[in-house]
């Protein structure tokens, strides 16, 4: 079956159409190693520095207000930040992406104590139930949850700690480009970004961090990036990341308005298809491009495969489960859903390449798909 409709933008975004030809141009114009000794290498270095300034500007950061390390993606950036964090008392969003959650839990190997921050039924961190008797040294959380679209309120964090201000690590892979992030006002110390989530190259991430926050290098070699992350930087992909970020913010208001209309349409029509079985895991206040839902009695992973095989529509199972596995989404489990309900989850995530007709086509095939289940 040929892919007809792509509804999996929360997993990875196709490169934005406006940037495709630009990518080829960059590859032709800037093939050189930016760490070399020629005037051409110097040109590439300056372009990379300018790309950093462009990212800082989007985060309302003055020049010199933070530093950036380019990585292979958000997973590497998260591991780099968390493995560098000082202190012994760590707290982590229990609905965080595994790249954050598992990295924090791994700190127990070096003697750290880790605490899971509980989620409410709406997917927000439930600070009233958090183990606040501990003075956290480090708090790691997901800004916008990739499964449910729930966005945390970063302004709450500094006020919940009775000790000194904890170091705050934020996974903004899903939120960067969708909402305005003010690095200083939100008192972030480590911020993780991803190019593939905003329509840039799928091989690049970034760690933005305060100058007084430590970084422990894990890659050694030629001493690039101030000996903190060795490896030759790729000028074209870095430029395209900055381009994609600026373009995402330029189009954010227009696109979010469209997603909100489609999200409302989906909720209304899915409710009609099986009113006694439908369950919405994404609250109405969640980010509109992501809608996690399911039908009680129907395995989400099986529905996902049927949509792909018979309809050419790609969504994802909203949990880590599959028809052969008893594992369920840790996010939905933390929100209080039963294993049975969590196994129903389907995540539909929209992006700039989608149309209203594709939404209608999806809704049109769902009733028959449930009958054929």
* Residues 218 and 333 reside in one and the same domain: no
CA distance 227 to 247: 31
Find tokens 């997901």 and name the residue. 142
Domain membership of residue 373 (yes or no) is: no
pLDDT of residue 332: 96
Query: Which residue matches tokens 């958000």?
Result: 74
Q: Are residues 102 and 44 in the same domain?
A: yes
* Per-residue pLDDT reduced to its tens digit, 204-243: 999 999 999 999 998 899 999 999 999 999 999 999 999 9
| Domain assignment of residue 371, yes or no | no
136 and 223 co-located in one domain: yes
Q: Are residues 185 and 263 in the same domain?
A: no
**Residue 14 carries which DSSP code?**
P
Identify whether 370 is part of a domain.
no
- Indicate the pairing of strand 5-6 with strand 89-93: unpaired
H or E, element range at 280:
strand 278-280
- 47 contacts 30 by C-beta, under 8 angstroms: yes
Reading the block at residue 128, the tokens are 């009233």
Domain limits at 22?
17-247
Question: Across-strand partners of 171?
Answer: 142, 192
Domain count, the chain: 2
The low-confidence residues of the chain, meaning pLDDT below 70, are: 158, 161-163, 318-326
Using an 8 Å Cβ cutoff, are 248 and 55 in contact?
no
Last residue of a domain, one of 206, 228, 247: 247
Specify the CATH number for the domain of residue 175. Answer: 3.40.640.10
Rounded distance between C-alpha atoms, residue 156 and residue 127, angstroms:
9
Judge whether 339 lies within some domain. yes
For the chain, the straight-line distance linking the first and the last C-alpha, in angstroms and rounded, comes to: 18
d(CA 244, CA 263): 24
Residue at 369 is within a domain:
no
Task: Give the domain-ending residue among 198, 218, 247.
Answer: 247
Is there a single domain that holds both residue 184 and residue 274?
no
Verify that 178 and 118 share a domain, yes or no: yes
Shared domain for 222 and 134, answered yes or no, is: yes
pTM of the model: 0.95
Residues 240 and 255 in one domain: no
Same domain, 257 and 305: yes
pLDDT at 39: 93
At 323 the pLDDT is: 42
Angle at Cα 50 formed by Cα 75 and Cα 12, nearest 5°?
A: 30
Q: Is residue 232 part of a domain?
A: yes
Give a yes or no: residue 294 inside a domain.
yes
CATH number at residue 283: 3.90.1150.10
In a domain, 301, yes or no: yes
Same domain for 127 and 172, yes or no, is yes
156 and 284 part of one domain: no
CA neighbor of 59 nearest in space, from 181, 175, 195, 207: 181
DSSP, collapsed to helix, strand or coil, labels residue 269 as helix
Find out whether 52 and 43 touch, Cβ atoms under 8 Å. Answer: no
Give 243-287 pLDDT, tens digit per residue.
999 999 999 999 999 999 999 999 999 999 999 999 999 999 999
């Amino acid at each position: 079956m040929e892919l007809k409709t792509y509804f999996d933008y929360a997993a990875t975004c196709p490169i934005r159409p406006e940037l495709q030809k630009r990518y080829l141009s960059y590859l032709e114009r800037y093939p050189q190693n930016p760490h070399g000794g020629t005037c051409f290498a110097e040109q590439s270095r300056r372009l990379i520095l300018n790309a950093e300034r462009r990212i800082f500007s989007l985060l309302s950061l003055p020049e010199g207000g933070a530093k950036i390390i380019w990585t292979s993606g958000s997973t590497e950036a998260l591991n780099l930040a968390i493995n560098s964090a000082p202190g012994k008392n760590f707290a982590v969003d229990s609905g965080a992406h595994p790249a954050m959650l598992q990295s924090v839990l791994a700190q127990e190997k070096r003697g750290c104590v880790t605490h899971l921050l509980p989620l409410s039924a709406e997917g927000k961190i439930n600070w009233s139930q958090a183990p606040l008797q501990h003075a956290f040294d480090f708090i790691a959380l997901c800004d916008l949850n990739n499964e449910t679209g729930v966005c945390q309120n970063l302004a709450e964090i500094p006020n919940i700690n009775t000790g000194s201000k904890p170091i705050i690590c934020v996974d903004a892979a899903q939120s960067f480009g969708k909402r305005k992030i003010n690095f200083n006002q939100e008192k972030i110390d480590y911020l993780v970004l991803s190019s593939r989530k905003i329509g840039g190259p799928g091989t690049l991430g970034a760690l933005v961090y305060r100058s007084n926050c430590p970084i422990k290098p894990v890659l050694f070699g030629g001493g690039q990036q101030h000996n903190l992350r060795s490896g030759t930087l790729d000028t074209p992909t870095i430029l395209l990341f900055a381009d994609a970020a600026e373009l995402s913010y330029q189009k954010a208001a227009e696109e979010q308005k469209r997603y909100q209309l489609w999200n409302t349409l989906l909720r209304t029509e899915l409710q009609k298809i099986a009113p006694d079985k439908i369950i919405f895991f994404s609250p109405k206040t969640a980010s509109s491009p992501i809608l996690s839902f399911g039908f009680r009695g129907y395995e989400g992973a099986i529905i996902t495969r049927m949509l792909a095989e018979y309809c050419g529509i790609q969504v994802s199972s909203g949990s880590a489960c599959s028809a052969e596995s008893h594992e369920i989404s840790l996010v939905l489990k933390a929100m209080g859903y039963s294993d049975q309900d969590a196994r129903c989850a389907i995540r539909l995530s929209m992006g700039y390449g989608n149309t209203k007709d594709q939404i209608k086509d999806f809704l049109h095939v769902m009733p028959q798909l449930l009958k054929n289940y």
